[in-house]
Chains A and B, each alone.
Chain A
Amino acid sequence: MSVNTVPAARNTRGQKAAGLAMIGIAIAILVGLAAPHVVYPVFLMKALCFALFASGFNLLLGYVGLLSFGHAAYFGFAAYICGHVVKVWGLPPELGILLGTLTGAALGFVIGGLAIRRQGIYFAMVTLAFAQMIFFLALQAPFTGGEDGIQGIPRGMLFGVISLHNDMTMYYVVFAIFLIGLLFIHRVIHSPFGQTLKAIRENEQRAISLGYDVNRYKLLAFVLSSGIAGLAGSTKALVFQIATLTDVHWHASGEVVLMTLLGGVGTVLGPTVGAFLVTGIQNYFAQVGAWVTIIQGAIFIACVLLFRRGIVGEYLAFMERRRNRNS
């Protein structure tokens, strides 16, 4: 930001930007509401679930600077829990999602509590180690169905009144969950708590010297992030009526990193953009076989070498540069 900007001018510009953002959000919601009439709703639901998952992951990577390399554990295991309680215990879908989310958060509390004591690569490796143990649990535990997973999970009646058997109805529920999740993340980031997280990311030593209990902040962020991953995972289990090993495997952890990196680490909408692109590539290029993996790898490399800020991040940086030139 240039120093000689008149505060009043900046203020109006800030308001204008906020107004533009509101319009943008309104358009995005309208697009979201209209989308299933144009695009296959099951694909949209899948993309939304991964978008929520990636947004939760980004809360940790983008705002605290912690790369968790085992986030699939919370996503996938929550799916199992949700599937089990809905199918075997016969609980309604909202309770399934709630229990799945709580499972994700509880796992995050235990694993995060141990992992946040380590830094950088070691943090990534500890989270990976625990995620491998969760994978093992998912493979061996009696209720998960081993290689087959839990199949035929009933979508049921939401709050006992709304039948979710129709893909359209299910889509709007998923869309609502996604919006609530994103709004929650937005709220967290722009709260004093979120500011403290950013301070920890920028300079942890300094945050400590200012008297912040850094580990408590990190742990809370970890729990929120894994809880959101759990929310996304349980929702996905209901949508596809199946919970399998694919979602707990470390490949899924890698994919969520790709989505976040591609869309833009540390931006609110970046992970969503990334998730839509990556699931889109997987969906529409599925018939070309292993080329999907090659394309994903190429995107990874391009992101790291050419645009580390991701699509949304680069766009924001571009707008910022243009604004500075104009003022």
Chain B
Amino acid sequence: MMELIGIPPQVLFGQLLLGLINGAFYAMLSLGLALIFGLLNIINFSHGAQYMMGAFVAWLVLQYAGIGYWAALIISPIVVGLFGVLLERLLIRRLYNLDHLYGLLLTFGLALMIEGFFRQLYGISGQPYAIPAALQGGTNLGFMFLPTYRAWILIASVAVCVATWAIIEKTRLGAYLRAATENPTMVQAFGINVPLLITLTYGFGVALAAFAGVMAAPAYQVSPLMGSNLIIIVFAVVVIGGMGSIMGAVVTGFGLGLLEGLTKVFYPEASSTVIFVVMAIVLLIKPAGLFGKAA
């Protein structure tokens, strides 16, 4: 196959695939963040730490109980999601009538504590987590080599994003959620337990982060710092997509992952900054983000 603008196709498609994989994680994480912001009005700074917890729980159950990847994919989100429910009940709910910024600061403190805790126990070096047997190997597509696990990440994350979107846009529960973001008092008056709804939403958002964490465990390494490196980028994604917009989070997540991959091919030095350049431009032109409702 010809070279495209002096770049071998293997390199180009390889980077695009990597970008798309990163985008899959951005999308899953920003989806949870957007959900939490939409209903709780909390900027969940501990989202990265909760993603890290997801990966760690998967690693721990494998290490100490011999429970493998597929079961961890269910157990870990439940465990971490319950932890989220606890956090919401004990700490976060005390902040709802305060300025947004307090939510950001509280969850920032939480992130420091969670990460510090895991760093204290396991150090900063990564723990390896093997790719499950069924997903090892890969396929040669002719123009590039596609590892099976990467393909699985893409499929699973698209499935999770579509399912979440469907729950929120197409089901009765989703209708309650959307109504509660608009007018919680009114929804409460209709006999719907809004505080419970809020708690569950937080738990679900956190569980999504943990799910992404389990997915990430074999692809990257399980390390206490894996979340803090990601969280800032995911924030940018949520802000660019429009805070609280589910669609915006997903589309921007994948889009920015691809953009990052492209930048890596053509101007590698800027690949870690390109997202913030986009964020600054978008916010200055369209303050509510690409898919956000004007404030």
Chain A residues proximal to chain B, CB less than 8 Å? 67, 114, 117-122, 124-126, 128-130, 132-133, 136, 140, 250, 254, 257, 261, 289-294, 296-301, 303-305, 308
Contact = CB atoms under 8 A, between A and B. Distances in A.
A121 B91 CA distance: 21
28 contacts: A117-B287, A118-B283, A118-B287, A120-B99, A122-B239, A125-B235, A126-B283, A128-B232, A129-B236, A129-B276, A129-B283, A132-B236, A132-B273, A133-B280, A140-B269, A250-B232, A257-B108, A261-B105, A290-B119, A293-B115, A294-B120, A297-B111, A297-B114, A300-B108, A300-B112, A303-B109, A305-B94, A308-B98
Contacts of A122: 239, 283, 287
A304 B95 contact: yes
Contacts of A124: 101, 104
Contacts of B269: 140
A200 B101 CA distance: 18
Interface string B258-295: 00000000000110110011011001100100000001
B255 interface: no
Interface in B143-176: none
Nearest to A293: B116
Given A67-B101, A133-B273, A125 B112 contact: no
Contact of B113 (A128, A294, A303): A294
Given A121-B243, A126-B283, A300-B108, A293 B100 contact: no
A299 B108 CA distance: 11
Nearest to B114: A297
Closest 10 pairs (CB-CB, A-B): A300-B109, A297-B112, A293-B116, A297-B113, A294-B116, A290-B119, A136-B273, A290-B120, A132-B276, A301-B109
A129 B99 CA distance: 21
Contacts of A292: 116
B136 to A, nearest CB: 34
Given A67-B101, A122-B287, A305-B94, A130 B280 contact: yes
Contacts of B99: 120
Nearest to A288: B120
Interface range, B side: 35 or more
B198 interface: no
Contact of B280 (A126, A257, A293): A126
Interface in B105-129: 105-106, 108-117, 119-120
A113 B141 CA distance: 50
Nearest to B278: A129
Given A125-B235, A132-B232, A304 B109 contact: yes
B96 interface: no
Which of A117, A125, A133, A303 gathers most chain B CB within 10 Å? A125
Given A126-B284, A294-B120, A304-B102, 16 more contacts: A118-B287, A129-B279, A133-B280, A136-B273, A250-B232, A292-B116, A294-B112, A297-B109, A297-B112, A297-B116, A299-B109, A301-B106, A301-B110, A301-B113, A303-B109, A308-B102
